[in-house]
Structure formats: structure tokens, C-alpha cells
Amino acid sequence: MMVKLLSVILLAVCLNNTLHAAQSVVVRFADTLVARTWMAQGRKGPVSQLTSLIGAHTTRPYVSDAVIRAVHKHMGYSLQVEQLLSTHTVPEAIRRLPLLCVIDYKDPVPPHILAGKLHNHTYFDFIEPLPQYQLADLPSDPYVAEQYYLPLIRAFQAWDSLPPSAAPVIVGIVDTGVDTAHVDLKGSIARNTGETGTDETGRDKRFNGKDDDGNGFVDDWFGWDFVGADGASPDNTPLPGNSHGTHVAGIVAAQVNNSIGIAGVAKNVTVLPIKVGRDSPFSRNVENTAEALLYAAAAGCNIINCSFGSASASFADADIVQAVTAMGALIVAAAGNDGTDQAFYPAAHPEVLSVAATDSSDRRAYFSNTHRSVDVAAPGVHIFSTMPNNTFDYQDGTSMASPVAAGVAALALSAHPALKPAQLHSLLKANTINIDKLNPGFEGKLGAGRIDALNAVRFANSRYAEVVKTVIVNANGSDLIEPLDTVHLHVAVTAPLDTLKSVRVEVVPDSSQFVSTVSVTTAVAGLIASGDTVTINDPFVISLPKQLPVNGKLQVVIRVYDGNDIVGTAIASATVNPSYRTINGNNLKLTVTNTGTLGFNDYSENVQGVGFCWNNQPTLLFEMALMIGVSPTYLPNAARGADTRYRDYSFIGTSPVTVTTNSDSATLKAETTFSDDNDRYNLGLNINHTVIQNTSDSLRDCAIITYTITNTSDTVLRNVYAASFMDWDLGTNGEDDGVAWDQQRGMAIVQNTTDPELPTVCVAMASDLPVNFTAIDNAGTNAVPGIYDNFLRSEKWLFMSSGKFRTNSSVTDISMTLGGGPFTLQPNESQQIVYVIGVGSALRLASEATESGRNYAAELGLNAKRYVAENESDRIDYVINGPFVSAANPVNVAFSLLAPSSTRIEVYDLLGNLLKISPETEILPAGSHHTQISIPDTASGTCFIVLRTVRGITACPVQVLH
């Protein structure tokens, strides 16, 4: 037998970036006609009501009928899938499984954008990108000396303490497959007795091609492969792929005292392989984990190990976890290997036992995540276990710590088979070894302590308290918590194990946060019977200091005592002094931030804020962000970026958002400041940002928005442009919208083309500066880039600095940029940009509201002017034979001049690089003109022909062919 002694680290998600499937979202349908329609058509195919929201699409169940049948069989139900919705005797977590749906769509909109746009729609309880996970990565057995973790967790003593009546336990290994023929594992593989033996015709049930046990899976005699070679070829052979699953299985259940290899943590246990990784040994992604978890529980697994995950929480997987728990299985999962203080899923779901990794000295493994969501720690460094082809190896990771804890859970359940998942979860925490003193700086973030098998089997500590609810509210009723406020903490406590006879709850400030004062620190709960929950009648009272960090975290430690013994701890936290405020000074309700965005503070989730709402209707705005630049590189901004899952964070708040009203309460003003110091290529800017609302009849449907930009550097800033990027969504999901520049009114007009009941939005840049405007099709066109794939700084610069670059969008999901420039800023000089946004039930009303706001801004002394309609500016009328032009021949350009001017034609590529420049002409008269310019051979794809006159520039996109 070959033994490999390679030191390998198989890390879990080494991602701070969350993985999602492209062009797919998962939803839970609300119980509406749409859900019933989908159910009636077999939970598949397009749904007519969704076409107007999402376009061409198809659907499929997140949990297949086969898995739901397996769940029913396990729970003893004889219901059809469609009957679940109205059968209230079924636990809710299981009843709603059929409502989970995957929508695969055609449009190029990224899943996180689509989910953000539709998250409040009445068809759905939730909508989110379809998540993808990656791997988290002295008996007679001859290599047991390599297993330091067995004596550390006192596994040998635990084995000796198992009662003769110890019950068999099945541990599901949801992973990359298991080498079931391994000499040290083959005796520990669980078998499905319903698919073994012979059938009525004498055929071997393992291979007869029939679903002998009626659980929805044919010949699943030793587990199931939910993925196969290509991700879509499930079969009944859960053999590895990646070696990860075999290593994990050996940690739990390598055979003990067989004179071969190693010893698993658990005796009296078998493992059921459920494969969710592809057949390639190099594949690290796992798929179909939701169905795998449900299958494992339906197959009788008492414990399910998940050595994989993601930093992204999923509502859909929260449903799955709750259903699996209701079926009687405890999920044990890796806390992640990013080495950061962050939650990791599925481990961080409250029903799951989350496991961090420690070393042989009980010190935190350098790679292990630490977080208040961690429940326990377990050895995860230099773990020796089984590998495919009868080999053994060392690996590190919370992937290894999780099965150590799962093995201890199996031992405890074997000794105490009546325990429910929640009780087992508590027992394991109640019987740990506290290691906080060995891990300064990580106190409370490695869970209750390091797992201990002997304590768990002996049930050494049967007293434990779970804090099941913490709610922090402002005593004054406000949604925001600000300096000097008093807040109330409400707490509920349960006794999952033995009765607690003399319970008191104590709350103290967390020393790692800013100092708060807890004036009501202790409450007496008295006796809490086993299984009961008690809500503390009076709240704990917490007073906040005058100085609070922006977006600070109020965090307090909750300790539960039974007599003089601590029997449980928890953390309660809330965000204080947030960097955003929601104002509602007239018919418009909007959120102001101090980081350069308006509407929402947390692109693209869009839950921090209300957006931009009119007359209490849903938000009309998905994203609004300030952009200021002098070039494609030096362009601090707050808009979505090169990876559209994230925005650029150039601006950092220098003061909180304050809200004031004037003496007659007619005018409300929100004000804040921020700088561009957070940008690597900052310009040394400080920005004062205000939003003004007025309740008078002519102003109640508009908002005045100002940005006063000050150059705090010692350098003269020339060629400065400022613009706002706005993604409007008047209709659901923003489809069928359009935006255009109205030269006569001097404003952009946003309307929906299919629903006349939807409002019209008008946006004006009211300052005395040249106007720059671009109408954007979010999906892009052949000539103009879109913003679904990315929003590069070169594209931002093009849109904000090219005059009226594109005056009309298509009818689609649209955005726009509107701003002013160029202008120059001397050191300590300021330039104010004023916007007015008006909304109305018709174009006339929206434009009148906007015009009234523009005039009112001028009356207030802002840098705004009353608008006087002007003729169109100098422009390129067309490119002959465009937009497709050849680099082999000169390009003929037709253009018009508003007044006499010299001219110059320039050619730029998509990144803003100058490719060609024509000689400047003498002064040409007003009127129409033609000229030629050659496109260099180096040009390809989208380029821009620019007309430069004394009054500015205008551009025309072309596609260069070779």
C-alpha cells in the first residue's frame, strides 16, 4: 500500500468574490396565481407572466420532483407536489420546497442586477443569483500516530464510553465523491437496503434499472451522484472526482482496529456518499447541493457534512437548511478558509454547526475564518486521512475541521439517539473546551470552544442556553440610531437541553467596539423548563456616546447564567450613525448617502435605502452615482465598475448626512460632505452634497440636488467634467423604458413605452455649464457599449465628456449620464453642479415640476440658470455608409455648424486613445459641410469620430472593419 506524505492545503473558497451562475436566478414564488400556473405546467418551461419581466426564459425546479418524493417518503407523507401548499400539517420549511424555482433567461442583464431590480416584486418571496459553491478546503491502525487530533479531542476515551446500546449513525458526505473501494473505507459505506438483494424476478436490485424502494432514485444502493461528468448527468455511482470527498469521509469513518491505515473519529458509524462535484479530479466547484442535502436527509442521514461554501448568504439555501433540520438531520459545515472575520455559508445559517479550524496546540489556524457565527472549533491543520486508490495524505482546511466535528456529533448521537438536531447542536457547544485564552484577539469568534468527544458522549454538561432572539430598537421610535440616542435590547432565551433552574441574563458592552453605556445590565428569567423559550419582559437599556463612527457597529455581549455558571453567550449588534438618511420632504422619498450615491447605499443589493420614490410608489431608480474626472484614469466615481457586481468606491464620507427644515417647515434640506481620497487616482477633491425639497404646489414633485466640488490640491485642474450616472427603472425590471434629450426643454425625459399608468421622470442639469448627455442601452448596441458586462472608466469618460453623445436610447432597460463641463478648478476654487429631478403622471406635469425646480434653484442663489431653449449645437450629421466603415478607405463625414468656427476631426478607440487627428481648418461658415479622414490600420471594433469646434465636441460611434 502506497502512502503519500505530501503536505497539501486544499483550501475552501479562497474567494472574497462570490460565485454565481450566469444568466440564472433562483426565486421562491409567493403563493399567487403565477406560482399555481408554474405548478400546473409541471414546474418547468416559460411562465407567461414572467416574460414581461425577464424576457425569453425557461424555468426548472430548484428541488426536483424526485427529491421531493424522497422527502415525502422519509416523512411519511403521501401527497402530490401541488398538495403541499395547502397542507398546513406539513412543516412550513418542507411545504414551501416546491415553490423554489430556477429561472434561466436570455437577456444579457447580470443576475445580481436582475435580482436587485425585482427583489420587491409581488410574484416572489425572494429572488437572488443562483449561488455556486467551492470546496472549503491508539488502536491497531498503523498510521494512527499521524492523527494527533484523535487524542486531542479525546476520541479514544469517547469510544470506550459508548454504551452497549449505542445506536448506529449515518453521516452524509455531501462532497466530491468517495472511493468506496478504499481498503480503510469500504466497510464503512452505508447501503440502501431497499436497493440491495434481489427483486421478484431474481435480479440484483443494485443494477436492475428500477426504483425498488420508491424514493425517486433508480438503483441508489450506496448514494447518488447529482452532477456527473458535465454537471447534468446524474447517476448512481458517487465515486470521486476530486479526492477531497474521500479525505473527508476517512476523517469521519475510516475503519477502527482493522490493522489498516488510520482510524476515523467515529465508531459505530457509516457514511453515505452524495456527490456534488464533477468527475474531473481538478474540479473544485460543487453543484446541486440543495438537492443533495435533501436527499441525504431523506436517505436517513442523521448528520450531514458540508466542507464547502461561499461568503454569500442565500435565501433559497436557508429554506433548504430549515427543511433538512425539520427532517431530523444536523448539518455540520466548514467556516471557510479566507482567514477573515466573516460569515460563511451554509455554515453561518443558525441551524448549521459552523466549524472553524485550529492546530495541534488549540490555536486558530492561520487560514480559518473567525466570526460570531462560528459555533465550535476543531483540528484542521495537518490532518492525515484517506485518499483515492488506497493511499493516504495530509491536508489542511476547515474542510478537515468540519468532518472532525461531524464525527464527534455522530458519537454523541450514537450515545444519545433521542436528541433532535437543535439539541445535538447545543450539546456539542455545551461540551467544548474553552480556548479563548490561547487565542487573544479572537475571543468569542472561535465558537463555544474546541470540540471534545468524551464530554459530548458522556453529556458532561447538560445545561445550555440559546439566545434565540435579539432585537435592538431606538427608544424614540426612529429607524436610525444616532449619537446620544438610547436604544432598547429585547432578548429571548431557550433551554434546549436540561431545565435551567435559576436563569439570569447579563449584557455588557463589547470591548472591541466603541464604548456604550448599558444602564440596565441584568434581568432575571428564573426557571426555564427544557424546550421552553422565555422572553425577557423589560428591555436592556443602552446609551450611546456623542461621538460615533459612521456606519459603526453597536455590539454587546449577552451572557446567560444558571446560578453562578455561564451556560450560554451571544452577541447582539446593530448599525449606528449610518452613512445614509432617507428624506420625504414632499411627494418624493429618496435616500441620501455620503459616498457619492443617491437612492441606495449598498449597490447592488439595494436594501440600505428606498431609492427614489414618488407618491409612495416603488422606487423609480436602481442606481445613481456621481462621476468627476479629467481623463479616463483620473476619474473618481461611485458608479458600478469593471466588475458590475461591485461599484467604485472613490468617495469617502467626511461628515454624516444631516437633515434640517426651515422655520415654516416648507423646505427640507439634507446635507453631507465627502472626498475622493479613497481613489488611487484621486484629484484632491472635497464635495459638499445637498438635496432640497419644498412642499409648495409647484415644487412638491421635484428635488434639487447639488454637488459643490472644491479643489483642495495645489494643482490647477483643467478639463474637468462632472456627471451623474442614473439607471432608471420605471417599469418592472426596467424593460420597455426609454430616455431621450429634449433640446427645447433642456432636460432628459425618461418614460415607459407600454404602461401609461407609470410616471414620467425629467432630469435637468441646471448649472451654467456645457451639457454632456448620453442615453445608454444597458445591453449595449453595435456602436455604443453597454453596462451589463462592465462599466469601464474609459466608457464612463466617453459618456460624460462627449457633449450630447447619444440623445435617444432604444426601448429597453436604460441608463443615462448627465453633467457639465469642461471647467477649470484653481487650487481652493469650487464649482457647483445643480440637478433638478421632477416626476409627474404625464410629460407636461413632470417637465413643469422640473422647470419650477430649476427656477427655484436660481432663486435660492445656487449655480442654476433659467433655461432658454437654444438651437442644436454643432454636430456630426452622419458618416456616409456608416456605422460600418473600412480602414482601407477614407471615411466621409457630414457635419453642421451652428455658427462660424474652425474645425478638427479626431478618431478615438473605445478606451479613449487618440488614433488620428486631422489638420485644423480655417473658420468655416455656419451650415452643412463634408470632410474626409482616414482610419488607421491599427483601429478595430468600436471607434469614435469626434468633431471639435470652438464651442465644444460632438462624437459619432462607428464600427471599423478590415
Enzyme catalytic residues: 175, 244, 399
Strands 383-387 and 353-358: unpaired
| CA dihedral sign of residues 938, 942, 945, 951 | negative
Cell numbers at residue 401, please?
A: 475541521
Q: What is the dihedral of CA 23, 27, 33, 37, to 10 degrees?
A: 60
d(CA 49, CA 28): 15
Which residues are within 8 A (CB) of 406 and not within 5 positions of it... i.e. 6 or more apart? 171, 252, 265, 303, 305, 332
118 membership: H or E segment, kind and range: helix 111-118
- The residues with which 357 forms a beta bridge, in sequence order, are 378
Of 138, 539, 436, 97, residue with least CA distance to 294? 97
Q: Which cell numbers in the block locate residue 279?
A: 468527475
Q: Which residues share a beta bridge with 583?
A: 590
Are 321 and 389 within 8 A, CB to CB?
A: no
| Amino acid of residue 708 | T
Write the secondary structure of 886-934 as one string of H (helix), E (strand) and C (coil): ECCCCEEEEEEECCCECCEEEEEECCCCEEEECCCCCCECCEEEEEEEC
The cell for 815 is 441608463
Whether the Cβ atoms of residue 428 and residue 455 lie closer than 8 Å to each other? no
d(CA 271, CA 510): 41
Cα–Cα distances in Å, from 521 out to 507, 508, 534, 564, 676? 5, 7, 17, 16, 42
First to last CA, the chain: 63
CB 902 within 8 A of CB 950: yes
CA dist 428 and 376 (Å) reads 8
How is residue 38 written as a grid cell?
408554474
**Pairwise CA distance, residues 691 & 696, whole Å:** 16
**What is the Cα–Cα distance from 872 to 898, expressed in whole angstroms?**
7
In the block, cell 477573515 appears at: 340
Strands (E), 163-232: 169-175, 224-225
Q: Are 689 and 811 in contact (CB under 8 A)?
A: no
Beta pairing partners, 765: 835
Packing angle, helices 398-415 and 421-430, rounded to 10: 110
User: Is the torsion defined by CA of 76, 80, 82, 86 positive or negative?
Assistant: negative
Phi and psi angles of residue 711, each rounded to the nearest 5 degrees, phi first: -85, 105
Residue 604: is the preceding peptide bond cis (ω within 30°)? yes
Residue in the structure block whose three cell numbers are 407523507: 77
Note whether 312 and 18 are within 8 A (CB). Answer: yes
d(CA 72, CA 67): 9
The set of cell numbers assigned to 961 is 472593419
Q: Tell me the three cell numbers of residue 784.
A: 455604443
* Residue 400 Cα distances to 103, 246, 405, 888, angstroms: 34, 11, 9, 62
| Strand pairing category for 269-275 and 747-752 | unpaired
Nearest to 614 by CA among 800, 867, 838: 838
Would you say 909 and 881 are in contact if contact means Cβ atoms under 8 Å apart?
no
